């Protein structure tokens, strides 16, 4: 994997390439940039997985998350809007991941609106309306759960599916986990996240 990073107005400082290892984000490479030099990271990768680009390791919210894969990936951004306005090209799996995140953002925005409405109704002591809003929130949570389940089962050939399964269904029943695992292609099952999810399935069987 070759990652080419263009940061407008960034003239000097450290840039870090990071990934999750043993449940912690760790630095796997870094470059000290001066005089706006090219920023290029090379990393051996077995299967697509999440990586991060960071300008300051002391700030947890100063990262660009992207799905890395073999080949050439380009990240275009700026110093002023480093992780809020960026473009990623060259990663098919990242483009799929972005589309998935758009749908999840819609669910989350609706839930935030309902939570705010619930808070206001509670302050106004409007019990009947509050009950309706809370039921709507429960319905929305169920819809998001079913959306995620349908997504991972219907897209078993995509490398983001086991990652979603790990995040959303680690506590699910044996039946659901088995259904998800069986939907995955052999290549996805043998990927980094596929193997992690398989361990979750085996753990459920033991318990």
> How would you write the pLDDT of the chain (207 residues) with one tens digit per residue?
999 999 999 988 899 999 999 889 999 999 999 877 889 999 999 999 999 999 976 666 789 999 999 999 999 999 999 999 999 999 999 999 999 999 999 999 999 999 999 988 888 888 888 889 999 999 999 999 999 999 999 999 999 999 999 999 999 999 999 999 999 999 999 999 999 999 999 988 766
Please provide the DSSP assignment of the chain as one string. Answer: -EEEEEEET--EEEEEEEEEETTEEEEEEEEEEETT--EEEE---SS-EEEEEES-TT-TT-EEEEEE-SSEEEEEEESTTTTTS-EEES-HHHHHHHHHHHHHHHHHHHHHHHHHHHHHHHHTT-HHHHHHHHHHHHHHHHHHHHHHHHHHHHTTTSTHHHHHHHHHHTTS-HHHHHHHHHHS-HHHHTSHHHHHHHHHHHHHHH-
pTM of the model: 0.89
In contact, 2 and 72? CB cutoff 8 Å: yes
> How far apart are alpha carbons 69 and 46 in whole angstroms?
8
pLDDT score for 60: 66
CATH, domain range 2-90 = 2.60.40
pLDDT for the residue 56: 78
Residues of the chain with CATH 2.60.40: 2-90
pLDDT of residue 36: 72
């Amino acid at each position: 994997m070759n990652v080419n990073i263009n940061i407008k107005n960034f003239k000097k400082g450290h840039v870090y390439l990071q990934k999750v290892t043993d449940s912690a984000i760790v630095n796997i490479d870094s470059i000290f940039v001066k005089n706006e030099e090219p920023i290029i990271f090379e990393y051996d990768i077995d299967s697509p997985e999440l990586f991060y680009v960071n300008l300051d390791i002391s700030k947890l919210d100063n990262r660009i998350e992207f799905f890395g894969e073999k080949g050439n990936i380009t990240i275009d951004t700026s110093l002023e809007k480093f992780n809020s306005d960026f473009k990623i090209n060259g990663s098919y799996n990242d483009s799929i991941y972005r589309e998935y995140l758009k749908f999840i953002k819609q669910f989350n925005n609706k839930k935030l609106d309902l939570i705010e409405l619930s808070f206001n109704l509670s302050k106004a002591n409007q019990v009947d309306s509050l009950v309706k809003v809370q039921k709507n929130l429960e319905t929305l949570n169920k819809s998001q759960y079913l959306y995620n389940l349908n997504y991972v089962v219907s897209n078993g050939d995509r490398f983001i599916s086991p990652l979603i399964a790990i995040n959303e269904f680690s506590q699910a029943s044996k039946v659901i986990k088995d259904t998800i695992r069986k939907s995955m292609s052999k290549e996805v099952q043998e990927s980094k996240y596929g193997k992690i999810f398989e361990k979750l399935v085996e753990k459920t069987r033991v318990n």
